[in-house]
Amino acid sequence: MRFDLLAVRRHARLLLALAALILSTQAAGQDYPSKPVRLVVAFAPGGAADIVARTVAPKLGEALGQNVIVENKPGANGNIAAEFVVASAPDGHTLLWGFPGLATNPSLYQKLSYDPQRDLAPVILVASTPVLLVANPNSPFRTLKELIAQAKEKPGALNFGSAGNGASGHMAGELFKSMANVQMQHVPYRGAVLALNDLVTGQLQVVFDSVAGAAQLVQSGKLRAIAVAGTKRSEMLPDVPTFEEAGLPGYDAGTWFGILAPRGTPQPIVERLRTEALKAMATPEVKARFATLALDAGGGTPEDFGNFLKNETGKWAGVVKSAGIRLE
């Protein structure tokens, strides 16, 4: 009888502890946010990541009832910003503006101080935009097949520019080389704008950039669009074929943005952030801005975003290994 009574008491204490944990977790979600929220962007002001973050942040702040302050921490292909957020308190007041490097950096760097999938809690995929392959308008090739033929005729003679080693444009170029079975020289820049400027002046042959970054130069006639990634044509450039239509089926690359929190952030806070982010993304102002930037709105659950990041990490690990790329 004494044994049964002790067991009942232990069971009761366990239930009380569990109830207290549930109540404290719920309270954390209800009290959140208690101060301004920092949204840490891994790149310098003025770039695509920064522009999209500053488009979403004010509306997210309105939905949360607190200011959302964009804080830029550029460097090391996004690792400085990611490390900062990983080391922050898991209370929802310091967030990371997600970027493609979270999927490529684990393969690019031999020694990474954090694991994106282990140390960050996905909240929501906010937006994405496909890669656009652009060339100088005076280039001898007008189609993807002509570009591939020239690259095969003169291996290594063509060069392609990107926003830097390990950037999404660099990875897109390496994926293209692998799938098209061609050799091209990569020329890294400190930002996509610099690469596009050299493409306009004829110092580069091609650049892999986002539709958002290069569409206006194409529309003004300063650049020639060769193909766009993804399964459908861009609404901003409806005359530009997809890579599949142009002769390279299965090619898909792009830039994406999302929100992540430090590991251990209470689930009610993660869910609150997701709910309010969806509200922000649905506002007319954000939807209109996404349209002008050729962005496809995201959505889904934290689990969906986590699976997306896992799949992207596996995909780009193969590309990095095949290309033999290492960054320090």
pLDDT in tens, 247-292: 999 999 999 999 999 999 999 999 999 999 999 999 999 999 999 8
Phi, psi of 286, deg, nearest 5: -70, -40
What per-residue confidence (pLDDT) applies to 172? 96
Question: 94-98 and 37-41 as β-strands: parallel, antiparallel, unpaired?
Answer: parallel
Burial label for 102, CB within 10 Å (0-12, 13-18, 19+), is buried
Residue % of the chain over a pLDDT of 90: 76
pTM to 2 decimal places: 0.84
pLDDT tens digits along 22-36: 444 444 556 899 999
CA 255 to chain centre: 5
pLDDT at 220: 94
Task: State the chain's mean pLDDT as an integer.
Answer: 90
